[in-house]
A and B are shown apart, each in its own frame.
Chain A
């Protein structure tokens, strides 16, 4: 009986994962570029690149325990949580700051809507709902650049 329950949960989780909304990197329609590649997204979120198209880019994070942040860290930054923590500690020594944190996807989407040079990660449905420009898309852990 136990194995049956386990199997049920594994299959349910796999099903939900397959049909989960994809994660996108989105920005305001006036954002200076139309697409980003994986390396550039990583470098913006790790504060290795600060300007694009002559404008200072403002990356936005979701809260520490938000499911989408975990997905973003795994599939885009490709770093474990403790690696990211150590990374930000090193940048603290070098005078750099981690991205600003907003509490929900709706808060991020509203912020992106009003600030031209901010970018954030959201579920695709949320980005479409707020009519944001999709710069990069990750679906089921596989990344693809938005053409």
Chain B
């Protein structure tokens, strides 16, 4: 094999790798766009309106007192999440975790449905290293920091 042929081959190889990597880049970015999870509070969900339907959302807020309804036979947990100004009704499949109670900070992962109810199959309870009730109006960012398994 002579030198020019080797050089030509090398350029083919470089070209092929360039094409392959741009294809990979396009696929990867496209795929990421479809699989984003948004971190929102009830006000953002309400403000987004119909745009929030179908997207995967991690909704953070406080469980409103007097709204928890658990049906052990259907394995359905219903409650309302609030951030102080707006509220969202949440339907969760599954039992409430041991530390779940009214007034506690939670993050639920799921989607908004057309009926205006947030459907979730993943409920995470906020925890902190000290014993204290979550304070009123605690920011959602603070909440994410201390939530289980995040």
Tell me, yes or no, whether A binds B. Answer: no
